Amino acid sequence: MSNISITIDGVECKAKEGEAILNIARANDIFIPALCYLSNCSPTLACRLCLVEVDGKRAYSCNAKAKEGMDVITKNDEIEKERRAIMEIYDVNHPLECGVCDQSGECELQNYTMEMEVDSQSHCIQDSPRFAKDWGRIHYDPSLCIVCERCVTVCKDMIGESALKTVKRNGAELGKDWKEKTPKDAYAMWNKLQKSIIGVASGADTLDCTMCGECTSVCPVGALVSTDFQYKANAWELKKIPAANPHSSDCSLIYYDVRHDNVSNSNDKIFRVSNDYSFSPIHAGARYGYDFENQVESKKEEAFNKVIDALENKVDTIEFKSYITNEEALILQKLKETKGYKLHNPDAFAFKKFLENFSKTSGQTLYSGDLKTVQESDFVVCVGTALKSDSPNSGYAMNNALSMNKGAGLYFHPIGDKVVEGYSKNLLSFAHKVGYEEDILYFLLDLFGKDLPAEIAYCQETFHHKETVVVTDKIEEIKEVVLMEDGEEKTVAKVISSKVEKVIEVEKNILADIIGLGDDFDVKLEKLLAKKEKFSLIVGPDLYFNPKSENIAKILGLIQKYTDFEVVVIPSKTNSLGVSLICDLDEEKGKFSLGYNKKADITISSLGKGDLDMPALNQQEGTFTSMNKRVVPTNAALPYNGYVLNDIANALGLEAEFTVDYTVQLPVDKGFKAIEFDDLPNEFTSAGIENRGYLIEGKSVTCNNEIKRASDVEEMQTPIYLANPVHQFNVFTNKSHQLNEAGALYASSDFLEKRDLVSGDMVKIESEEGGSLVVAVQLDNTISGDIPYLPTFDTKLNAKQFFPIGYRFASVNIKGVK
């Protein structure tokens, strides 16, 4: 897209050719009313409020594409008359229940009614009954719905589920006289309003989706709301605390909406999480997993002294998980440097090793892409992650790229995922056998590599062989045919097409057979790749503990270096990237451990189950390093009255008044910047630019092209996988009241049917290494195939016993038990 300039209300605006005029206006702080349009989604033209004049002609600014020199006028008498009529009609039969409506105070219908000064009504029609629907965590009230279709659009173009659609309303018909006396666009909008409401796309009564809740977030009125939040608080009483999603490495911008609990309890309480839906969707864990705070009345001195005594006299190792801030990670690193503790965090250790091996061939300490580059791509490949549940935001970015950029892609994972498969018909999904990730990356390097150095090219050639195949070709011949015309026979020449089979010699890559891509893969891929220009590759946590992780990371490095792919590596926990950059981690632990949010010889815990309480992440200020390689701030939504890690560090000889005093000290040699916590921004600009914290700068390092040949894969007979269901991420999401549940062995309908099991039946899982667990099975109808998964969010299950080295696949025996 070339750079152009257009004029909006006399203001010269720089833009990209083809950009929507509405987006250009927003980026230049020029107001155009709009109710149905969502940035990064397709326009639905439902509201028609964004009407403007372009070079003297009426156009809808959400749909009109910018061209060099365009002259746009955002209002004149005719436009204002039309907009006012639209708003009047939106107010026809809209229930007058603003006093109790959950959206009141942040309702776009209220705002535009005021903006257009609608103080009288010239339209009316008989109302028809519209009954509210209870869709689990979501409540839909069609009588409040203005059929803007934002919910439908966000679910299709952003989330990738297409779970909602417009359905028949059977409202009263508009009489002819209304057509004559109503402005054109207002009439068209009204007609639609009478005919439609929102329903479940499958036609079922219940909404069977992953319940991300993004549709409630985009709804401009009170029609789609969180069932839990309904009638609990008014928008104007809630204080918005900007923060970062504490549960996964997207670290998306969220707001904790906080108010005093009730009239008899003045303590602050989080009532809900909201988000800036125009630029930053959030997943179910971020939206509903907010009340995991650790309530502590006061500082428990005795417990604190016990911990300090242990740290001074017994502890040689600190074990922790990557659900901590960068500042806490720096405190731990400083304690290692001053006190000699080992730092044990197997997950971050594996991630760090993976990035180190990646940089050995890529020559860069960090991967090149982020969620934005994925969103802007038109060809996206995903390997080594159960995308939908490991990183829903990566899934949203991939779906958005496929939907909005006429994109295509490839998804490789041993567990078939119906949600991901549904992103686009131009996405090929392969449920390959366990252990073939190395072959897949080799294959991608072979397919997309450019100017490969001789040693790699040689290695690649060993995968190639010539094969003869039979293909069907279409041929056209001119033949004479006899036709009847006016009762007479006539011989005419006609082009006749027919299909013939021919044998040709093609070059094949044996890896395609090994991975199981099918004979027609080349043909399909050629079609998918037509006119594609921007490539992204997403890889994830299956690779970090993979037995072949070292070579996999190196092949990935070569892919970043020698192909057009921008590579995105999903950190497995919220701050795995920050921890891996800040801490010198140890592979082995010592004899006596202090565990931070991890059970050990002595434990400090924000779950309230240890020897000393610690604040939860919704009670802390600090920063995370997101998968976008951005250091983003998070703020405390709730107070905490106990000791924090900084108190422990100070007792051991470090000196800092507050934990966030460490923000400015984060290691500059690892790409962090010496910026004070209070100086970090946390917002999106009106042009949609992520102005949050700062970007970590990766470094160039010396590299080589040393990779090994793909090694053989040992087949697993009955594998299980370590993963959480889509809305769970950890013990903290499971502590939250809307997500709290018991874990199970999650399986596809194929798996259950084959074994004559139904949800709730008990099974016994046993491994050769002695692992044993009796657990209920639960249907996950979003997956397919024969590999079930065990979660980590419910620690009672001890799923990790089957995955001792961290690799996410394990071979087990599963039997039904009574």
Decide whether 221 or 374 has the Cβ nearer to ligand SF4: 221
Nearest CA-CA partner of 377 in 353, 347, 398: 398
Three-state DSSP string of 108-170: HHHHHHHHCCCCCCCCCCCCCCCCCEEECCEEECHHHCCCCCHHHHHHHHHHCCCCEEEEECC
Give the Å distances, CA to CA, from 157 to 143, 167, 519: 25, 19, 31
Out of 62, 66, 145, 158, the only residue in the binding site for ligand FES (CB under 6 A) is 62
Which of 15, 49, 87, 163 touches ligand SF4 by CB under 6 A? 163
Candidate list 147, 225, 637, 797; residue touching ligand SF4; CB under 6 A = 147
DSSP string, 376-408: T-SEEEEESS-HHHH-HHHHHHHHHHHHHTT-E
Which single residue is written with the structure tokens 């630019």? 689
Is 561 an interacting residue with respect to ligand FES (CB under 6 A)?
no
- Confirm or reject binding of residue 43 to ligand SF4 (CB under 6 A): no
**Of 239, 261, 353, residue with least CA distance to 586:** 353
389 touches ligand SF4 (CB under 6 A): no
Q: How far is the CB of 158 from ligand FES (least distance, A)?
A: 16
Site for ligand SF4 (CB under 6 A): which residue of 21, 215, 744, 814?
215
Our finding on whether 47 is near ligand FES (CB under 6 A) is yes
Long-range contact set of residues 312-315: C-beta below 8 Å, sequence gap at least 24: 312/652, 314/592, 314/601, 314/602, 315/341, 315/592, 315/593, 315/594, 315/601, 315/602
Q: Rounded CA gap, 168 and 137, in Å?
A: 24
**Residues 7-46, mask of contacts with ligand FES (x by CB under 6 A):** ---------------------------xxxx-----x-xx
734 and 742 in contact (C-beta within 8 Å)?
Answer: no
Q: Is 221 in the site for ligand SF4 (CB under 6 A)?
A: yes
Q: Which stretch binds ligand SF4 (CB under 6 A): 202-210, 270-278, 402-410, 480-488?
A: 202-210
How far is the first Cα of the chain from the last one, in angstroms, to the nearest whole number?
64
CA distance readout (Å), 235 to 95, 143, 275, 353: 19, 20, 14, 46
SS (H, E, C) 420-448: HHCCCCCEEEECCCCCCHHHHHHHHHHHH
Among 151, 324, 330, 514, binds ligand SF4 (CB under 6 A): 151
Q: From the list ligand FES, ligand SF4, none, pick the one residue 35 interacts with, judged by a Cβ distance below 5 to 8 Å according to partner type.
A: ligand FES
> Choosing among ligand FES, ligand SF4, none, which partner's interface includes residue 45 (Cβ < 5 to 8 Å by kind)?
ligand FES
- Min. distance of Cβ 63 from ligand FES in angstroms? 6
Task: Examine residue 411 and tell whether it contacts ligand FES (CB under 6 A).
Answer: no
Q: Does 190 bind ligand FES (CB under 6 A)?
A: no
Position 631 contacts ligand SF4 (CB under 6 A): no
Of 212 and 511, which has the nearer Cβ to ligand SF4? 212
φ and ψ of 338, to 5 deg? -90, -30
Return the one option of ligand FES, ligand SF4, none that residue 221 interacts with (CB less than 5 to 8 A, by type).
Answer: ligand SF4
Q: Does 542 bind ligand SF4 (CB under 6 A)?
A: no
Judged by CB under 6 A, the residue of 88, 102, 214, 613 near ligand SF4 is: 214
264-293 positions binding ligand FES, by CB under 6 A: none
Q: Name which of 102 and 214 has its Cβ closer to ligand SF4.
A: 214
- Mapping DSSP to helix (H, G, I), strand (E, B) and coil, where does residue 364 land? strand
Pick one of ligand SF4, ligand FES, none as the site partner of residue 214 (Cβ within 5 to 8 A by kind). Answer: ligand SF4
The one-character DSSP state at 709 is P
Largest interatomic CA distance in the chain: 111
Contacts to ligand SF4 by CB under 6 A: 138, 145-151, 154-155, 159, 161, 163-164, 198, 207, 209-215, 218-221, 223-224
Contacts to ligand FES by CB under 6 A: 34-37, 43, 45-50, 60, 62
